[in-house]
């Protein structure tokens, strides 16, 4: 193709991994006809760390302009509805031997899935938490339904999104340091994003006020989500020393568990019967006292 010829000599083998900084203008003109994006970030760092073979993993991608152009970000959203649905299904059914990145992403990581799954999760947990506390307090006459609590918790949810990007960064950093053809940052974040999908139906089902059901649901969700992550990162990590491999995997699982359980404990509180009764009666007394004046 025209772009390749002007960019570098025609090589049938590895993709043009050295084309990046020289001809950004040409690539911008072409727009985002080819898949790309993840390659851009990966190549920058591979040149820093001198890893040539990692670019082969992502094979065949063309960088699409600098990070200040719109096309660069457009390349992260180069997915169709069918592809997104396939990836979601892949995150729901982790089978041993099926690496999420190799099998579902196939060198086209996207940011649409992780972003909208996080946003949906934010709202579903907030709404579910509100509904569950409303249902559990329905018999309590002094309880006043406070939907406003939704907005206060939104800040915490920014932390959820930030935490998941941070974990993705840590894992990618681990993989990059080991120099074992690690995944690109974007792919790592993508896997984390899709692995959170199982929590959306879980948070909706948590409205049902049975403790045994809730704990069963959260265990099932953690198992599915954790196994997606472990199955994806195990091949990368296992070539390392035994101790480091196990430690990395355990850290991933523990952090993920903390995130899930922390969210659930905070938003789905059902043990507020006794404490909430105490502050309300003094308030009523105070209002009566002030009215008497």
Partner 1 sequence: MADEANRQFAGLSDVSISEDIPVEGDISRGEEDEFSTLDEPVKETILRDLRAVGSKFIHVLYPKRSSVLLRDWDLWGPLLLCVTLALLLQGGAADSEDQGGPQFAEVFVIVWFGSIIITLNSKLLGGTISFFQSLCVLGYCIMPLTAAMAVCRIVLVGGSGTVSFIVRLVVVTASFGWSTFASTAFLADNQPPGRKSLVVYPVFLFYFVIGWMVLTFSPSQ
- Tell whether residue 189 is a contact of partner 1 (CB under 8 A): no
- Tell whether residue 5 is a contact of partner 1 (CB under 8 A): no
Please choose, out of 139-147, 162-170, 207-215, 268-276, the segment that lies near partner 1 by the rule CB under 8 A.
Answer: 139-147
Provide the token pair at 201: 């139906």
DSSP H helices, the chain, are 2-7, 24-30, 38-49, 53-57, 70-74, 81-92, 100, 112-136, 149-178, 185-195, 199-205, 211-237, 242-267, 273-292
Q: Is 17 exposed, middle or buried (0-12, 13-18, 19+ CB in 10 A)?
A: buried
Q: Which residues, numbered 226-245, are part of the site for partner 1 (CB under 8 A)?
A: none
Task: Tell how far CA 284 is from the center of its chain.
Answer: 45
- Tell whether residue 276 is a contact of partner 1 (CB under 8 A): no
Q: Is 146 or 173 the residue whose CB approaches partner 1 more closely?
A: 146
Binding string, residues 78-117; x marks residues near partner 1 by CB under 8 A: -xxxx-x---------------------------x---x-
Identified binder of partner 1 from the candidate list 130, 132, 171, 195, rule CB under 8 A: 130
What span, in angstroms and rounded, lies between the C-alpha atoms of 113 and 97?
23
Neighbours of 105 (CB within 10 A): 25
Please choose, out of 73-81, 93-101, 214-222, 236-244, the segment that lies near partner 1 by the rule CB under 8 A.
Answer: 73-81
Distance of closest approach, residue 116 Cβ to partner 1, in angstroms: 6
- Tell whether residue 145 is a contact of partner 1 (CB under 8 A): yes
Residues 6+ apart with CB under 8 A from 128: 203, 204, 206, 207, 267, 268
Distance of closest approach, residue 134 Cβ to partner 1, in angstroms: 9
Q: Is 79 or 105 the residue whose CB approaches partner 1 more closely?
A: 79
Q: Which residues, numbered 41-70, are part of the site for partner 1 (CB under 8 A)?
A: 70
Q: Is 32 or 51 the residue whose CB approaches partner 1 more closely?
A: 32
Distance of closest approach, residue 114 Cβ to partner 1, in angstroms: 13
- Tell whether residue 255 is a contact of partner 1 (CB under 8 A): no
Under a CB-based contact definition with an 8 Å cutoff, are residues 14 and 56 in contact? yes
Distance of closest approach, residue 102 Cβ to partner 1, in angstroms: 23
- Tell whether residue 73 is a contact of partner 1 (CB under 8 A): yes
What span, in angstroms and rounded, lies between the C-alpha atoms of 188 and 92?
17
Distance of closest approach, residue 282 Cβ to partner 1, in angstroms: 13
Identified binder of partner 1 from the candidate list 1, 93, 95, 119, rule CB under 8 A: 119
Provide the token pair at 278: 């105490």
Residue with tokens 């999760």, as numbered in its chain: 121
Identified binder of partner 1 from the candidate list 4, 23, 69, 120, rule CB under 8 A: 120
Radius of gyration of the chain (CA): 24
What span, in angstroms and rounded, lies between the C-alpha atoms of 14 and 243?
34
What span, in angstroms and rounded, lies between the C-alpha atoms of 72 and 118?
22
Residues 6+ apart with CB under 8 A from 82: none
Give the binding site for partner 1 (CB under 8 A): 70, 73-74, 76-77, 79-82, 84, 112, 116, 119-120, 123, 127, 130, 144-148, 150-151
């Amino acid at each position: 193709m025209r772009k390749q010829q002007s960019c570098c000599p025609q090589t049938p083998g590895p993709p043009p991994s050295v084309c990046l900084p020289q001809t950004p203008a040409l690539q911008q003109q072409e727009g985002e006809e080819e898949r790309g994006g993840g390659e851009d970030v990966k190549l920058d760092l591979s040149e820093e760390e001198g890893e040539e073979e990692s670019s082969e993993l992502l094979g065949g991608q063309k960088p699409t302009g600098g990070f200040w152009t719109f096309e660069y970000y457009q390349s992260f959203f180069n997915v169709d509805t069918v592809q997104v649905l396939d990836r979601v299904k892949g995150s729901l059914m982790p089978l041993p031997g099926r690496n999420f990145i190799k099998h579902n992403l196939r060198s086209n990581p996207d940011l649409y899935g992780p972003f909208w799954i996080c946003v949906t999760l934010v709202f579903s947990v907030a709404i579910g938490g509100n509904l569950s506390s409303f249902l559990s307090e329905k018999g309590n006459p002094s309880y006043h339904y406070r939907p406003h609590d939704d907005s206060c918790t939104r800040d915490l949810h920014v932390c959820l999104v930030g935490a998941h990007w941070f974990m993705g960064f840590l894992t990618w950093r681990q993989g990059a340091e080991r120099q074992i053809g690690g995944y690109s940052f974007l792919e790592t974040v993508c896997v984390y994003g899709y692995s959170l999908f199982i929590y959306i139906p879980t948070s909706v089902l948590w409205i049902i006020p049975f403790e045994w059901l809730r704990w069963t649901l959260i265990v099932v969700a953690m198992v599915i989500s954790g196994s997606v992550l472990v199955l994806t990162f195990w091949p990368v990590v296992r070539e390392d020393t035994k101790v480091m491999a196990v430690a990395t995997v355990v850290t991933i699982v523990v952090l993920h568990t903390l995130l899930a359980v922390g969210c659930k404990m905070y938003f789905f509180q059902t043990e507020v019967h006794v404490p909430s009764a105490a502050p309300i009666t003094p308030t009523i007394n105070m209002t009566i006292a002030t009215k008497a004046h």
